[in-house]
Structure 1
């Protein structure tokens, strides 16, 4: 009798897209379905800064904000590698930090680029801008036109680091989830 062993490779999957494209909604639904997911950390960083009296850390100290995000996203990647689950979804990835810094036109240290090169995701799903679902809130200061510009920087940055972006169609949450699951 012969046994065939299949080695299952860890899939670390990023959901990316400009502000208000539905990433967090999909992450929340994936969590509800029992998938291992890591939430967007920029809201945590923003809320922590607000507790210290800095209303919009990204606007007031973009490099500090981005350093904190980069550190957090690297830690998420490392933690995802250690998860017992074979598939881990992450709301935004390391290259997002570079894309946002390019969007605002600020310089950043070389280790930002090195992080994008060193930590590679298995798959990248991009959610397109969708004006009908877009909403601003206390942590999302961009308007829809700015969200479109951010989307361009995200696409450019991820492609620069060799990612094939899988575009998730505008559809119901259920159908978007099914589309993503079908592609993995």
Structure 2
């Protein structure tokens, strides 16, 4: 894995659960931007369907490994895209945030991943928003856990050299415009 990837046109949209990430990504996709959907929900659905235990409420270490693996596959699936912006619903670092939250030690293999796969250093993070937070079959966290997740995510991204930009609660269109204005100001081509 000696190959380093740095894609300044790859932007992460992250935050705790239930903050409007998917709705925002749908808005960006409808505006013509390329998006990569979140891996965690798909992993949970597959594990439930296959009676697996790689779940946040089951074998959390296996779930972390599955998230890292799926995030790498998502990244590599679009790694040849250089001439357009790609928005990711969460990034590889989100799995490291989860590992931190469950006190799972970061292995040297995990560290290798973070030094070899880079996104744009600006990460768009959506803060907790109680008015829209809902639990469901794949999202079981309490509101307090969701708020704590945001704090840990923000500090984890900073620790890995990213700059979190808080996307204020607003309509999906206003949030999309906020992100696009920030990207234009930083000029992703640099």
Aligned counterpart, 1:3: none
Aligned 8 A contact 1:21 1:130 in 2: yes
Give the CA RMSD over aligned residues: 1.6
Aligned counterpart, 1:74: 72
Residues 119-177 of structure 1, C-alpha deviations (whole Å, 9 max, x = no match): 11113101111111111110001011001111111111100011111111111111101
Aligned counterpart, 1:134: 133
**Alignment CA distance shift 1:35-1:85 (3 Å):** farther
Secondary structure of the structure 2 residue equivalent to 1:53: coil
TM-score by length of 2: 0.87
CA apart distance, 1:56: 6.8
CA apart distance, 1:108: 4.3
Equivalenced residues, count: 176
Aligned 8 A contact 2:25 2:35 in 1: yes
Aligned 8 A contact 1:98 1:113 in 2: no
Aligned 8 A contact 1:12 1:80 in 2: no
Moved over 4 A (4+): none
In structure 2, distance between residues paired with 1:65 and 1:29: 29
Aligned counterpart, 1:53: 51
Whichever of the two has the greater Rg, that structure is: 1
The partner residue of 1:106 within 85, 104, 107 is 104
Aligned counterpart, 1:147: 146
Secondary structure of the structure 1 residue equivalent to 2:88: strand
In structure 1, distance between residues paired with 2:10 and 2:56: 27
Residues 17-65 of structure 1, C-alpha deviations (whole Å, 9 max, x = no match): 0111111111111111221100001111111111112477122111111
In structure 2, distance between residues paired with 1:149 and 1:103: 9
Aligned counterpart, 1:27: 25
Aligned 8 A contact 1:126 1:165 in 2: yes
